[in-house]
Amino acid sequence: MSILQVSDVSKSYGGIRALAGCTMTFEEGAINGLIGPNGSGKTTLFNVISGYERADAGRVTFRGTDITNARPDRVFEMGLGRTFQITRIFPRLTVLENLHVASQRKGFLGQLRGWNSAAERRRAMEVLDFVGLTPLADEWAGGLSYGQQKLLEFAFIIVARPSVILLDEPAGGVNPTLLRSLADRIRALNADGVTFVIVEHDMEFVMGLCDRVLVMHQGCALTAGAPEQVRADPDVLEAYLGTDMKGTG
């Protein structure tokens, strides 16, 4: 069952084709890995899916609804969250406030009341416990270490209980202990039914964690399958190690 589909999406920046007729489907309830050499368009794909970039052509479908070129806030409201390659949090707000930004409230009156309602606070503390940041709840997010900020970004995506989470290089610059605990949490959430799409270069991380791996090359999908399958695929090896340099950058 596919929960997220990308059909024939293209995106160019000036002369550079970042995405060229990219088509792929992401299975619901799976931890999908998305790999590919640098410049293959992975982050651009994330940007297009989450609404940060407009696609030049093609469609993005999420749970049956067409979300092509939808606004980022709309996409998040529908249940699709993403992290960024370079961790982005709100440095001048406290950790707790960071989490509360993401907690959704319906209606005009909801916006008027204080941001720290009991139910939301409970949920926020629950999530903080889950990622292990509870002692830092009232600290300034800008003062957190790199690893802690990564966890925070992960945390505030989770707060709104999205059904799909796009992780852009979650293992980047992270120590092995934290990496293991990150993988544990991804598995725990996945057991609860959250679908993941993880862009990563750390092969061990991907192969050990993902149920399914999709490979991108030069702006479109190359192949997809179980990790061991993909690992042994000669086309994939050529894409990574091959001599052609077109489309990189």
Partner 1 sequence: MTATEVTPVGAAAPEHIPYELPRPARWGGTGLLLAVLVLFPLVFPNPAVTSIGVFTMIYLTAACGWNIFSGYSGYISIGHAAYYGIGQYTVALLAMHLKVPAGWDTFGLLPAAGLVSAVAAVPIGFLLLRVRKHTFIVLTIAVMFILQLLAFNLTSWTNGSGGLELPIATWQGSFFNEPFYYVGLVAAVAACAVSWWVRRSKYGLGLLSIRDDEDRARGLGIRATRTKLTAYAISAFFVGVAGGLYGPFVGSVYPQFGFDPNFDLAVAVLVFVGGIGTLAGPVIGTLLLIPLQQYFYLQFGNANLYLIAYGVLFVIILRLLPAGIAPSIIRMWRWFLLNRRRAAAAAAAGAGAPGPAAVVAAEAKQVKP
Partner 2 sequence: MVILQAIIDGILVGGFYALMACGLTLVFGVMEIVNFAQGILVVLGAYLSYALYSHLRVDPFLSLLITIPGMFLVGIAVYWTMIKPIGQDRVIMSLLTMFAVGTIIEGILDLVFTSNLVQTSTSYENSSLRVGPLIFPYVYLYAFAMSAVLLGGLYLLLYRTRFGRSLRAAMQNTTAARLVGINTDWVSAFTLGIGVGLAAAGGMVFGLTNSFDAASSYDLISRLLAIVIFGGFGSLGGALIASIVMLVIEDVVAVVWSPTWGQTTFYIVLIIILLLRPQGLMGRRAVRAQ
| Burial 145-167, CB ≥16 within 10 A → b, else e | eebbbbbbbbbbbbbbbbbbbbb
Binds 243: which of partner 2, partner 1, none (CB < 5-8 Å by kind): none
CA distances from 11 to 20, 41, 54, 74, 218 (A): 7, 9, 8, 21, 12
Residues 28 and 138: their CA atoms lie apart, in Å, by 35
Which part of the chain contacts partner 2 (CB under 8 A), choosing from 45-53, 100-108, 191-199, 210-218?
45-53
Q: Is 137 exposed, middle or buried (0-12, 13-18, 19+ CB in 10 A)?
A: middle
Query: Which residues, 56 to 85, sit near partner 2 by CB under 8 A?
Result: 84-85
Give yes or no for residue 103 binding partner 2 (CB under 8 A): no
Among 156, 189, 198, 224, binds partner 1 (CB under 8 A): 156
Give yes or no for residue 86 binding partner 2 (CB under 8 A): yes
User: What's the min distance (Å) between Cβ of 84 and partner 2?
Assistant: 6
> 3-state DSSP call for residue 174?
coil
Give yes or no for residue 149 binding partner 2 (CB under 8 A): no
Residue 90 corresponds to which tokens in the numbers above? 């709100």
Q: Of 151, 144, 145, which is closest to residue 180 (Cα–Cα)?
A: 151
Binds 208: which of partner 1, partner 2, none (CB < 5-8 Å by kind): none
Residues 171 and 87: their CA atoms lie apart, in Å, by 11
Which residues in 14-109 belong to E strands, given as ranges? 16-27, 31-35, 57-62, 65-66, 80-82
Q: Which C-beta is closer to partner 1: that of 93 or that of 125?
A: 93
Give yes or no for residue 52 binding partner 2 (CB under 8 A): yes
What is the per-residue binding string for partner 1 in 35-74, x denoting contact by CB under 8 A?
---------------xxx------------------xxx-
User: What's the min distance (Å) between Cβ of 55 and partner 2?
Assistant: 15
| Residues at the interface with partner 1 (CB under 8 A) | 50-52, 71-73, 75-77, 81-82, 84, 88-94, 97, 100-102, 104-105, 110-115, 131-133, 135-140, 142-143, 145, 147-148, 151, 156-157, 160, 177-178, 181
